[in-house]
């Protein structure tokens, strides 16, 4: 194999289904043992570039490609698929699309088995991958019952067993709890140090720089805006488009003398009757399985904007699936406006609770984005005259105008995720529940839709207060809880560990670390400046209080 694992020369690509070019004049070279971080807003061309490197373009995606992509001196288009699989190992954004086997061992062994390797070699590779990623405890588990984060780790283990020379990781941190993300980044760095070429496509730049990337490639509109080291914040990188360490943002805001506006203080709503009540809820999938929820008690009130934090596999998604009636308690009961979910139909619950799944592929099916958004309101028999307005407002909230006639499954993962959120917004349920709403989202888009949802500027109702009595989101993004939530639930050990205001729950670092929640630079800066600011704020707003 040649010295240079990857050479890209004057690469351009336009999808057959899209009018605008996805990539323009991309040129770069990667050395053996180099770790490259690729960042940029959703739809900027990161995933398309990844598809050009791993051969999905031109094999699986049609369009016009010019320029060259060379892997160890050979053009990608000329390599056979089995050859490609041993040169480039790809971890997809959505692990649901990657997992094919019914249990973990078979999933991780799938690649080497397809290469026809000897059984002893396969067993050795599987054991090494499980050990490296600390997944021995999952070895005999069924993949169906894994959490999103556990599936992400298993998919990564499957890539490692192929022993490729180039690792292409597309949003590998999206479903991981903060501690797992930190461990994964250490693995990526060690793989590069051992001679692998690692390409890390990631929105979470603040987290990704902990892997000490050799260089960063920053893209906008299909073009390279910056390629170089990231010891500090290069001026070409827009701090509003990617998530950067809070001190860097404060420094940039001060340097540019940007007048930061503070988000309005939410008015505490008077205590009224709870909308949702969990009473001593236990849950297990079957008698032979251990309990996933144990003695859970919870009340959700009008005006609550709740962030649910906790480790992968703790049962957070299981908790909310009880609220929407997809699961029924093994013991105890769940009440929605006083009614037991066991006695309610799915349609009745859908009018009350709108649920955005963790994986968008679990929700998307329609030929166009517009039809996807019309489906829920039509099924709930809304006035047909109102549906176009609901669709338009929902698309605007999640910044998807102009994509109404696009096929949802042809969009980027981040755009798919926003389509699912818009589909639930259009249904106007009383309570909005989102599972990992920011997974696959660039900072600009998630800031836009969260600000639009929560904005209560003078004389203005927010989308949430206008259409939803309360909102609950499961997230591994601590900064989402810091910036937007008025209540934080820390979930672990099968029940709720802590429940309260963000500044009360998130100040206990020892407790957070115990449940795999790592404090971020924004949380630390907020805690430091709390005596001056009086509440948690986004990084740009903290510039007014920082020295």
Q: Is 160 within the bounds of a domain?
A: yes
User: Where a domain ends, among 218, 241, 264?
Assistant: 241
Same domain, 287 and 168: no
In terms of average pLDDT, the best of 89-103, 352-366, 450-464, 499-513 is: 499-513
Using an 8 Å Cβ cutoff, are 214 and 34 in contact?
yes
377: confidence class by pLDDT, cuts 50, 70, 90:
very high
Element (H, E) at 90: strand 88-91
Q: Is 372 within the bounds of a domain?
A: yes
459: confidence class by pLDDT, cuts 50, 70, 90:
very low
Same domain, 452 and 316: yes
User: Where a domain ends, among 241, 261, 290?
Assistant: 241
CATH code for position 435: 3.40.50.300
Same domain, 59 and 203: yes
Same domain, 352 and 224: no
- The percentage of residues in the chain with a pLDDT greater than 70, rounded to a whole number, is 95
Q: Is 259 within the bounds of a domain?
A: no
462: confidence class by pLDDT, cuts 50, 70, 90:
low
Same domain, 387 and 536: yes
Return the pLDDT at 458. Answer: 41
262: confidence class by pLDDT, cuts 50, 70, 90:
low
Same domain, 304 and 189: no
287-322 residues labelled b (16+ CB within 10 A) or e (exposed) = eeeeebbbebebebbbbbbbbbbbbbbbbbbbbbbb
Look at residue 270 and tell me whether its pLDDT is greater than 70: no
Q: Is 324 within the bounds of a domain?
A: yes
Same domain, 210 and 285: no
Q: Sign (positive/negative) of CA torsion 312, 314, 320, 325?
A: positive
Q: Is 262 within the bounds of a domain?
A: no
Look at residue 455 and tell me whether its pLDDT is greater than 70: no
Q: What is the pLDDT of residues 194-205, one digit of tens each?
A: 999 999 998 888
User: Where a domain ends, among 182, 214, 241?
Assistant: 241
Q: Is 28 within the bounds of a domain?
A: yes
Q: Is 477 within the bounds of a domain?
A: yes
148: confidence class by pLDDT, cuts 50, 70, 90:
confident
Please state the rounded mean pLDDT for residues 151-159.
92
Count CB-CB contacts under 10 A for residue 373: 29
Using an 8 Å Cβ cutoff, are 6 and 26 in contact?
no
Return the pLDDT at 465. Answer: 65
Same domain, 206 and 295: no
Return the pLDDT at 107. Answer: 94
Total count of domains within the chain: 2
> Which is higher by pLDDT, 269 or 240?
240
Same domain, 408 and 452: yes
Same domain, 196 and 302: no
Nearest alpha carbon to residue 45 among 70, 72, 71, 18:
18
Using an 8 Å Cβ cutoff, are 173 and 202 in contact?
yes
Token readout for 313 is 């596999």
Same domain, 80 and 205: yes
Alpha carbon distance 187, 175 (integer Å): 16
Q: What is the pLDDT of residues 108-145, one digit of tens each?
A: 999 999 888 999 999 999 999 999 999 999 999 999 88
Name the residue range of residue 287's domain. 276-542
Return the pLDDT at 31. Answer: 95
Q: Is 347 within the bounds of a domain?
A: yes
Q: Sign (positive/negative) of CA torsion 146, 152, 157, 163?
A: positive
Look at residue 2 and tell me whether its pLDDT is greater than 60: no
461: confidence class by pLDDT, cuts 50, 70, 90:
low
Same domain, 359 and 222: no
């Amino acid at each position: 194999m040649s010295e240079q694992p990857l050479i890209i020369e004057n690469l351009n690509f336009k999808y057959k289904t899209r009018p605008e070019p996805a990539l323009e004049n991309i040129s770069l070279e990667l050395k053996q043992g180099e770790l490259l971080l690729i960042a940029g807003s959703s739809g900027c061309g990161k995933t398309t570039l990844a598809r050009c490197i791993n051969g999905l373009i031109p094999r699986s995606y049609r369009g016009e490609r010019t320029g060259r992509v060379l892997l160890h001196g050979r053009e990608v288009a000329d390599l056979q698929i089995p050859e490609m699989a041993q040169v480039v190992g790809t971890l997809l954004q959505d692990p649901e699309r990657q997992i094919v086997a019914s249990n973990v061992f078979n999933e991780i062994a799938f690649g080497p088995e397809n290469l026809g390797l000897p059984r002893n070699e396969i067993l050795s590779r599987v054991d090494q991958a499980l050990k490296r990623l600390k997944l021995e405890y999952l070895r005999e588990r069924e993949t169906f019952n894994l959490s999103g984060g556990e599936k992400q780790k298993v998919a990564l283990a499957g890539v490692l067993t192929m022993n490729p020379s180039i690792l292409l990781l597309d949003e590998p941190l999206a479903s991981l709890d903060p501690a797992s993300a930190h461990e994964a980044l250490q693995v990526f760095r060690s793989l590069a140090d051992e001679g692998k070429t690692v390409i890390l496509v990631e929105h979470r730049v603040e987290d990704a720089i902990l892997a000490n990337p050799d260089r960063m490639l920053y893209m906008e509109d299909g073009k390279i805006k910056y390629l170089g080291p990231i010891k500090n914040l290069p001026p070409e990188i827009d701090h509003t488009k990617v998530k950067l360490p809070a001190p860097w943002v404060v420094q940039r805001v001060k340097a540019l003398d940007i007048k930061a506006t503070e988000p309005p203080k939410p008015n505490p709503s008077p205590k009224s009757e709870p909308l949702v009540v969990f009473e001593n809820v236990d849950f297990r999938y079957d008698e032979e399985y251990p309990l996933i929820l144990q003695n859970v008690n919870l009340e959700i009130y009008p005006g609550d904007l709740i962030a649910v934090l906790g480790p992968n596999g703790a049962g957070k998604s299981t908790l909310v699936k009880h609220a929407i009636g997809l699961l029924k308690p093994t013991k105890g009961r769940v009440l929605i406006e006083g009614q037991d979910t066991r006695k309610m139909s799915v349609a009745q619950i859908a009018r009350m609770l709108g649920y955005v799944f963790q994986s968008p592929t679990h929700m998307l099916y329609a030929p166009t984005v517009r039809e996807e958004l019309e489906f829920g309101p039509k099924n709930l028999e809304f006035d047909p005259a109102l549906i176009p307005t609901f669709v338009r407002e929902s698309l605007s909230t999640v910044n998807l105008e102009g994509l109404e006639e696009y096929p949802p499954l042809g969009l980027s993962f981040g755009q798919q995720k926003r389509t699912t959120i818009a589909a639930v917004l259009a249904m106007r349920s009383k309570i909005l529940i989102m599972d990992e709403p920011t997974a696959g989202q660039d900072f600009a888009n998630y800031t836009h839709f969260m600000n639009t949802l929560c904005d209560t500027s003078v004389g203005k109702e927010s989308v949430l207060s206008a259409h939803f009595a309360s909102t609950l989101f499961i997230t591994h993004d601590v900064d989402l809880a810091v910036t937007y939530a008025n209540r934080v639930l820390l979930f672990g050990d099968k029940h709720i560990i802590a429940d309260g205001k963000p500044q009360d729950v998130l100040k206990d670092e020892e407790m957070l670390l115990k449940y795999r929640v790592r404090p971020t630079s924004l949380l630390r800066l907020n805690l430091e400046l709390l005596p001056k600011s009086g509440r948690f704020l986004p990084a740009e707003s903290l510039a007014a209080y920082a020295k």
